[in-house]
Amino acid sequence: MHPAKAFHVDDRDALLAFVREHSFVTLAAAVGGLPFVAQAPVVVRELDFGEVALDFHLSRANALAPHLVQGFRAVALATGPHAYVSPDWYGADDQVPTWNYVSAEAEGLVAPLSADETLVLLDDLSAQEEARLLPKKPWTRDKMTPARFEGLIRGIVGCRLTVERLEGTFKLGQNKTAAERGGVIAALGDDPLAERMRQS
């Protein structure tokens, strides 16, 4: 996360909403002294007693999959809009280029899901992503033959990252004057980051 406190976000509800919106995450882990990276879509689970988890699946051929039995620590990074910011856009002297962006990190222990939990994950994940395509009629696995679905599901493993740390960086020029930020927003035009800056 960015070290400047002006950009730091720790509002749990805002961060969980952000991860739900940007549900395709990058997972980073170090297992046995070796670095691993994987990418996966996640479903945010709000569990009992305020616990939060990210459920996802990996290919059985993924290098991290064999390590699920003993579990491992990982960081899941969700990223949103980002953009280069030219110093010219500030309308002020002595500025430097930078990059504005929004992201959230969830860190915790990753463990395997059971076969039944993995089925629930797949159904929930499809429903989550199909809802973004409305008014299209949602796809469900009922459209597949059972044998085909069962053959494909044997090729994946369900996973759960139980979140112990959740924080974000929303670097949107909070350290600049209103006029300087306005210049960046105008220059970005229809870029989604400009809307994020307007809302911050």
pLDDT tens digits, residue range 78-97? 999 999 999 999 999 999 99
Mean pLDDT, residues 98-103: 96
Average pLDDT of the chain, as a whole number: 95
140-170 pLDDT, tens digit each: 999 999 999 998 999 999 999 999 999 999 9
Domain boundaries, the chain: 5-113+158-199
Q: Which CATH superfamily is domain 5-113+158-199 in?
A: Electron Transport, Fmn-binding Protein; Chain A (2.30.110.10)
Q: Which amino acid type is present at position 172?
A: L
Burial of 28 (0-12, 13-18, 19+ CB in 10 A): middle
Dist. CA 38–CA 60, nearest whole Å: 12
Rounded to whole angstroms, the Cα distance separating 33 from 48 reads 33
- Which tokens is 29 given? 């882990």
Q: How, if at all, do strands 52-59 and 98-112 pair?
A: unpaired
**Percent of the chain beyond pLDDT 90?**
90
Q: For residue 129, give every residue at least 6 positions away whose Cβ sits within 8 Å of its Cβ, in sequence order, or none.
A: 23, 41
Which comes out higher in pLDDT, residue 32 or 117? 117
Q: Residue range 175-196: average pLDDT?
A: 95
Query: Which tens digits make up the pLDDT trace of 108-135?
Result: 999 999 999 999 999 999 999 999 999 9
Which two three-digit tokens encode residue 9?
């976000």
pLDDT of the residue at 1: 79
**Contact status, residue 15 vs residue 79, Cβ threshold 8 Å:** no
Which helix (H) or strand (E) covers residue 172, if one does? Answer: none
- Tell me how far apart the alpha carbons of residues 152 and 116 are, in angstroms, rounded to a whole number: 15
For the entire predicted model, the pTM comes to: 0.92
Q: Which residues on neighbouring strands pair with residue 26, listed in sequence order?
A: 39, 77
Name which of 125, 121, 151 is nearest 138 in CA terms: 125
Distance CA 39, CA 121 (A): 16
Q: Confidence class of residue 69 from pLDDT cuts 50, 70 and 90?
A: confident
